[in-house]
């Protein structure tokens, strides 16, 4: 490319740089989509495990109340109130987790939307850069 017009060489280099940048952003978008896909598979399992653990803790707490009741004789009505309070507390823990989980799902869907748009834009840029590069190389007398 030594005998190519300097302006043409600069244009070719500019197109190559844009092409490389678009390919880098395309890979970034593809990796983002892959990560979102993995997170989308993993998070429901994590949610199920979290709920299982919370239910287990609730059962342990209720069993403790029942054991205390047995050691005291008859079940006083205020112990039923303790069980209801425990259930309400642990339901609040589950609800709080579910709200945060839904927020993460929404954020992931937004990331997927953005990454998909970026991917489409970068693929379009790559196509255009390749077409422009072919034309410029032909002008420079370089066979493609």
Which residues form the domain of 69?
Answer: 6-139
| Domain-located, residue 18 | yes
| Domain-located, residue 1 | no
| Domain-located, residue 95 | yes
Average pLDDT, the chain: 91
| Domain-located, residue 44 | yes
Q: Is 116 exposed, middle or buried (0-12, 13-18, 19+ CB in 10 A)?
A: middle
pLDDT digits (tens, 9 = 90+) for 127-144: 999 999 999 988 888 876
Q: Residue 75's domain is classified under what CATH number?
A: 1.10.287
pLDDT digits (tens, 9 = 90+) for 91-109: 999 999 999 999 999 999 9
- The secondary structure of the chain in percent helix, strand, coil, rounded to multiples of 5, reads 90, 0, 10
pTM: 0.75
52/67: higher pLDDT: 52
CA–CA distance, 136 with 5 (Å, rounded to integer): 11
pLDDT of residue 6: 86
| Domain-located, residue 144 | no
pLDDT band at 118; cut points 50, 70, 90: very high
pLDDT of residue 141: 83
Residue owning tokens 């050691």:
71
36/81: higher pLDDT: 36
Provide the number of structural domains found in the chain.
Answer: 1
| Domain-located, residue 54 | yes
pLDDT band at 41; cut points 50, 70, 90: very high
- Tell me the C-alpha to C-alpha distance, in Å, between residue 75 and each of 16, 60, 63: 80, 18, 13
| Domain-located, residue 96 | yes
């Amino acid at each position: 490319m030594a005998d190519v017009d300097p302006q043409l060489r600069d244009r070719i280099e500019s197109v190559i740089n844009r092409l490389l940048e678009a390919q880098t952003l395309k890979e970034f978008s593809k990796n983002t989509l892959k990560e979102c896909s993995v997170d989308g598979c993993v998070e429901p399992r994590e949610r199920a495990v979290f709920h299982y653990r919370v239910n287990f803790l609730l059962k342990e707490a209720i069993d403790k109340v029942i054991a205390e009741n047995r050691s005291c004789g008859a079940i006083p009505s205020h112990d039923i109130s303790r069980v209801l309070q425990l259930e309400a507390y642990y339901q609040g823990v589950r609800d709080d987790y579910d709200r945060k989980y839904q927020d993460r799902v929404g954020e992931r869907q937004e990331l997927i939307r953005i990454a998909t748009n970026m991917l489409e834009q970068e693929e379009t840029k790559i196509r255009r850069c390749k077409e422009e590069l072919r034309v410029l190389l032909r002008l420079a007398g370089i066979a493609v």
